[in-house]
A and B are shown apart, each in its own frame.
Chain A
Amino acid sequence: MTFMALLGIAGGLFATGLFGVLARRTVLFQLISLEIMLGGPALAFIASGSFHGDAQGQGMFVLILVLAAAEVALGLALYLALRRVAGTDDSDALDRLRR
């Protein structure tokens, strides 16, 4: 029961982050939501590894951590470049490629 509840909460974390990415238009909030999205699978991997008594759950967590660090570094650099070049932090305002 505990295991399935933890997996459900992991799914809920992922869904919460997905909602944030879709609903917020500010780039920084979308980055925060991406962090929350990555937290869902991390919890699922740790719970699975713990309940199966296997180290691979924590191994996948380390890889997720690397992914999150790379994503934040690039995302924040892109955000700062966006502020400098376009003067906005609204992802809806970035439709110049369309024209």
Chain B
Amino acid sequence: MSGFIALWCASAALASALLAVTRPGIVHGLMWLVAALLSLAGCFYALGASFAGAVQVLVYAGAIVAVFVFVVMTVDATPEALAEERARLSGAWRLPAGVVALVALPLLLGPNSTGLEPGPATVPLKALGALLFGPWAIGVEIASALLLAALMGARHLGRRR
């Protein structure tokens, strides 16, 4: 049952993602992105990864999208700009779609089911913490260095000259 819910949520996420990248208006695209991220969070919950689901809602659909919303205020959203975007999109989608299909089809057709497949299992949060603070400590340190570099980069790019 939880496998079915996970599949349903993942399909909803895929459909929302398709809508997000094809809407001409940035606000509509952003709202469909939120829908896709929240559907993914539902999928994570159904797969037993409740910590990942909660973090997906808080960080992705919360913090990251909030930053996007602030930046969207600077976008030119006049009807002329929308019409131009729509015209540009209606002409220029075929070549990228062909390229993506060429790359993605072997990816989708390639893997074969291994046959043996237990259902989704809940991973205890304790195991995740032990992993991140034990064997993966260096990876976490590198990730924190990445965040620090991004912080300093954003500060540098955002200052007024």
Task: Point out residues on A near B: beta carbons under 8 Å.
Answer: 1-20, 22-26, 28-29, 31-33, 35-36, 39, 42-43, 46-47, 49-51, 53-59, 61-63, 65-74, 76-81, 83, 89
Given A2-B120, A39-B13: 17 more A-B contacts, CB < 8 Å: A2-B117, A4-B111, A12-B104, A13-B14, A13-B17, A16-B21, A24-B21, A26-B26, A36-B20, A36-B21, A50-B121, A50-B122, A51-B119, A63-B139, A65-B56, A76-B154, A80-B158
Q: Which of A3, A7, A9, A35 contacts B11 (CB 8 A)?
A: A9
- In the assembled complex, 16 residue pairs joining A and B whose CB atoms fall closer than 8 Å, in A order, are A2-B120, A6-B43, A9-B10, A12-B104, A14-B104, A22-B100, A24-B21, A29-B29, A32-B21, A33-B21, A43-B10, A43-B13, A61-B52, A68-B60, A69-B64, A72-B67
Docked-complex contact B71 and A23, CB < 8 angstroms? no
Name B's interface SS.
Answer: helix
Out of A11, A39, A53, A59, which one reaches B36, CB within 8 Å? A39
Chain A contacts for B47, CB-based, 8 A: 6, 46-47, 50
Secondary structure of the A side of the interface?
helix
Name the residue on B nearest A7 (C-beta): B111
A72 to B143, CA, bound (A): 15
CA distance A83 to B71 in the complex (A): 11
Interface size classification for chain B? 35 or more
Residue B123 CB within 8 A of the other chain: yes
